[in-house]
Structure 1
C-alpha cells in the first residue's frame, strides 16, 4: 500500500504551551496554600493533563482532584492523563471556588490557587508568587480579592 502526504494541507503540531505552575519550595512548610496554577482556559479536559503530568513527576502519580464547579463548566468524573486516569469531583459549598485540591498516592494533598485564565501576566505572576510563599495566610478567594482589577485582561485565554 502506498501512502501520499500532501505537505500543503498537513499542518505541523504546535508544541504544548508551557505549564504555568508555582509551588511552595520543597524544604519549606507550606502556608495556607501550596502554590498556584494558571490555566489558559476553563476547560478541565484540556488543562488538567499538563498539571497532573508535571505533578506526577514531582510528587507522585495524581489520583484525584476536587474543584468547585463555579469556574469549570464541565467536570468530567475521569480525565485521562499520561497513561492513567485522574478522578475529578467537586464540592460546591465546602470548597473555595478559586482552589483545586490535588491528591496522589503520596500522603497528603496540595491546595492550589487557580489563577483565572483571563488574568494579566504581571498580576498572575504576583498571585502565583504569593500563593507559593510559605508565609501566606490568605485563602485562594481572599488572595484574589486583594488584586487590583486594572491588571486583568478581559476576553483572552
Structure 2
C-alpha cells in the first residue's frame, strides 16, 4: 500500500472538476457524471486531490476503477486521508478515458478524464462539450466545481 501525502490546502481549490446535477427520480441514470482534468499522469498524486475536492459531496470513496494504460504505474491501494482506497485496473481502452469512483451508500461517479497535457483551450472545450452534451441529452444543469 502506498501512503499518499495530504494535498496542500492551496491545491484543494485547484481541483479541475466539472460535475452535472443528479437526475430527478425516475429518469435513466447518466453514463458520465462529469469531467476531471488532472495536472499529471501520476494517479497516486492526482487522486488524493480529486477525492479531497469530492469529500463533502461523496463521502468515503473506497474504490476507483481506472484505465491503467493512461496513468503512470500505480499501487493496488492508496492510503488517502486515513482511509484505504482500492485502485482497480482495466486495460479496456476507452476513448475518451474515464475513472469510476465507488462510494458505499452513495453509488458511483463516472468522470471523463481530460488528458493532463491538454492546453487550457482544449480542456475548456472538452469540459464544456461534455457538460453541454449531458445537459442537452438529459435536460440537466451543470454544476461547476
User: TM tier, shorter chain?
Assistant: 0.7 to 0.9
2:21 counterpart residue number: 25
Larger relative contact order (CA 8 Å, sep ≥ 6): 2
Q: Which runs of 5+ in 1 are unaligned?
A: 1-12, 138-157
Q: Any residues of structure 2 matched to 1:74-153 within 5 Å, and which?
A: 74-93=73-92, 96=94, 98-133=97-132, 134-135=134-135
Change (3 A) 1:99 1:14: closer
Q: In the aligned structure 1, how far is the partner of 2:136 from the partner of 2:115?
A: 19
**Is 2:33–2:110's contact at 8 Å kept on the other side of the alignment?**
yes
Other-structure match for 1:16: 11
1:45 aligns with 2:40: no
Per the TM alignment, residue 46 of structure 1 is displaced from its structure 2 partner at its CA by 0.6
Asked if 1 retains the 8 angstrom alpha-carbon contact of 2:58 and 2:106, the reply is no
Q: Which residue of the partner structure matches residue 143 of structure 2?
A: none
Scaled by the length of structure 1, what TM-score is found? 0.68
TM-score between both structures, scaled by the size of structure 2 = 0.73
Per-residue CA deviation, residues 86-134 of structure 1 (Å, 9 max, x unaligned), is: 11011113x6261101111234211111100110112212211232343
Q: CA RMSD in A?
A: 2.4
Q: When you count strand as a share of all residues, which structure comes out higher?
A: 2
**Structure 1 segments (4+ residues) deviating >6 Å:** none
Which of these two proteins has the greater Rg computed from alpha carbons?
Answer: 1
